[in-house]
Amino acid sequence: AVVSTQSTWEAVVSTQSTWQAVVSTQSTWGDVTIAGGSTASLAAAITAAEADQNAHICFLELTDWPGGQLTSSGVPALDFGSQNRKPQNMGASFRDLWSHIPGNPGQCWVSTKCYEAQWLMDTWIVPRLAKSPNLTVLLRTAVIDVAYDKASRRVESLTAVQRTPNNAAAEWAVNLSQDLPDWYHGVQSPRFRKTTLTVRSKVFVEATEFGDILGPSGLSYRQGVETPEETSWGTDPSCGQSATLTFFMEVSNSTAPAPSVPPGGGAGLPFSNWDANGHWSWSQVWTYRRNRHPGPGLAGDITQQNWGPEGNHLHNAHLLAAPIAPA
């Protein structure tokens, strides 16, 4: 793969001039372009590139970690039920990824696999993308506009902004909510250098987290979930992709700093009342989404937490809040 950005992928990074010559305002580039940021976009890029090595595939990744929930979304302890964890119910590339993870590194109990995102990036995602010479990966690239021809009902091109951090060490030093407007703005900023790209393709795949093609294009779409079963024809449009607030904790040999918010009371929820309300013990909470487990009682134990008042995620905090009229 040709990977464009300054990142940890030094072995497969191209120079800026290389990819600008491929994707430019003058070029009709590519056979398939995937607008990404999600787990599905990674699967689409791998599948398209490996299906036909004569096809040119362009993968626009919003962050510097392709994989969505697997990596950059910060939830590398996947919720897997009894059916979707079966190999025969997985796509080929995902099945290969799943078998690559040895056992259950975190010994969590939310899933059969809890792991560290950086490890998966280094040992599977980067090598798998690098296998395909016909795949161009544009990291840190956000779709900001869509040229849609109503007469032919075709998306003709995407306008995207690729950013390069001015200070790589401080790239993730601010909250995502503060950075997102900057990601989607083509003007240079104190934090990022920007390049505006016009991407043309025969086929565009919408696989973003935020509907980056659907929104600007004005295309109608259907949001929701099949109900009452996944195989049902009925839909519930009020059920969308929820958001969550997640953080990680690590067992350390050093003395922990005093918490900025005293435990207990409303400010300490939900952890302060788990036992009192007959829910889970602290041990169960810690191990639920544990990502690393070097051994009982050892420093380096890492757990992920994304609890909220309603459970794992924030109910009604949908990424696409308002359903659009069905297509």
For range 59-86, the mean pLDDT: 86
**How deeply is 217 buried, as exposed, middle or buried, from its count of CB atoms within 10 A (0-12, 13-18, 19+)?**
buried
| 305 conformational bin, left if phi > 0, alpha if psi -120 to 50, beta if neither | beta
* Across 302-309, average pLDDT: 78
**What pLDDT does residue 6 have?**
39
Give the pLDDT of residue 50. Answer: 96
pLDDT tens by residue, 211-256 = 899 888 988 877 778 888 878 888 887 776 677 778 889 999 998 7
CA-to-CA dists, residue 116 to 78, 106, 126, 174, angstroms: 12, 8, 15, 22
Residue 282 has pLDDT above 70, yes or no: yes
Whole-model pTM over 0.95: no
